[in-house]
Structure 1
């Protein structure tokens, strides 16, 4: 009998889930804010880890007096995989605004427009200074929200999240409520407001959550019990109703689970009967992913439009897409994306989107130009 006296050679090929950008892998964010440097960066940085980000020569500088770096460190800590099957984020982008303040909106708006060159970005993160004033911050966010609507119209939807360095719960609530002296406020489905404490970890938890799930369903990877501010039930409810995202320890039994309370948009600050149906971020992200998937189906076929059956073929593919979403349970019956010839431009199509995400009543209707 032949004897095997050598261990068989086994080759292992690791496949990283961070490569998925189809809603099942981590969303790529761009961080926009001032690091305190004398001059803003002319480029958009790309970092794969905190070591790269904190490099004095190739990153955004050293930690001293640089409030962007702790945010990035928190983000990378939370995205660190605990097991091989964990979702990860392949990289982040950073736009350093130098010493810019919210008193002048132009640097922020220009950075947002510049970020459109990075086609894999799905999340924008804005970090304001503690000395920025409420009215100026709201001015920037309102303009950002308008710009995000343009992105959605063009089939490249994003959601923006914002925080203010060192602001308390009471201060954060003024962003959606205003004050006696300043009546300006932001209430928009595409703008999420997150508490300053562990902003980077909150953002990472959202980026790591599949588009069809509520981010508050998942436990933080890098936060331990007791690290979030202790709030009463009434304080938590009030903060949520004011449209602020925050973390807390859920205590269903003997074990505490650090989680996001509920991923609400700033639109959630409206009265219940005035809220948009997409005021919860997981429903908005769900619709956004449907738009992205529809674009993936349609865009490669635009060059085929000279054929008589072009619209029929595109529509068949879109119907298959929607049927699969419904079958998987991510969308409800009634969801449909319809391709219509765009009369104003022969090289474009209009997609009429009717989406019925789970956990809402009625249909979300919007048009996208391809």
Structure 2
């Protein structure tokens, strides 16, 4: 079944939008990073490929002789490669989500020029212009800023054009490595919003990576009495009404991570971006709002944030693998580097071997 055919029967299409954030990477113009994300969706959460998708292409601040991607600094060669990378990623997304649009550019049109504003409203230069294009059926949206946004403002820009109640926020270097029961997670989130429920709110569900193994009993939780108490009270297996044979294991999470997560769109905008002062240009959410959220949760105010960690096998399983987009050079370059390393090691071994 194609993504287009699946869209007609998949209720996820009206419930959740994928937001993919990408930025200059040494692997450009190769699409290896994004391809690995899509391949992991196919393998571990195929329903995502029938949902709407927003791809936001962050850019750089300046061109220099050296590359410092976290500071928005690229070389001239990478600046050129990034332009081709954007074209290649668009082609990849169109081929996956909307094959007919790939063959006919008229399916995509510029729908708006918007601004991503930040900081003091009294400074006229505190904004970045955005070019937003979209397929006619709204299944694919591309956002291109004329200057660097940073992860925080990139996510906010995508949320503002999102029309579904939930989002899956996906950085370009975190592919899935385990099956995700997305339908069931969304059902749990929706049920927690019912007026007649006594269940705790579920507004944000982060997927676990290696450093989050056994989170409920980790130093992130155990040294803090309020967090230990909240974990004992809230950690549980949720059971979706429509799938009583499926459990959704969750433990309260005392942070707001940037790594892939599912969240309420309205909660995201209200809690993380209450004003243009919330996130500065270039900032990551977890570095700023995440730390403030954790401080409030330590005081017992967890419900304000309603953050959870998906917790399969009681926290012993991970769902994500990190490829580090600031260093990843692409599959071909990585294989060449490994072959070179193995060759050096073999020559070392031969030089140390006794001569017969």
Which TM-score applies when normalising by structure 1?
0.28
Higher RCO structure, 1 or 2 (CA under 8 Å, sep 6+): 2
Which TM-score applies when normalising by structure 2?
0.29
